[in-house]
Amino acid sequence: MEKKFNAIIIGATGAVGRELVDYLLKSNKYGKIVVFVRRIIDRWVNLKEEEKKILKIIKIDNLDFLGGTKEEILNKLGNEDIQFDVVFNVLGSRVKMGDEEFRKVDFTYVVNSAEMCVKLNIPHFSHCSAMGADKNSWFLYNRVKGEAEEEEMKKNIKYISIFRPGGIVERDNDDRFIEKLMKFIPFLSRISSKDLACAMFNDDLNYQISEKKEEKKIKLNNDEILKIVEKSKNIENKK
- How do the domains of the chain map onto residue ranges? 5-238
Nearest of 14, 62, 38 to residue 176 by alpha carbon? 14
pLDDT at 99: 84
Confidence bin at 46 (pLDDT 50/70/90): confident
Confidence bin at 220 (pLDDT 50/70/90): very high
Read off the amino acid at residue 115: E
Of 45-54, 58-67, 163-172, the poorest mean pLDDT is in 163-172
Q: Got the DSSP string for 94-120?
A: -GGG-HHHHHIIIIIHHHHHHHHHHHT
Confidence bin at 186 (pLDDT 50/70/90): low
Helix axes 222-238, 193-209, angle to 10 degrees: 70
Integer CA distances (angstroms), 202 to 23, 24, 49, 96, in order: 9, 10, 24, 33
Indicate the CATH number for domain 5-238: 3.40.50.720
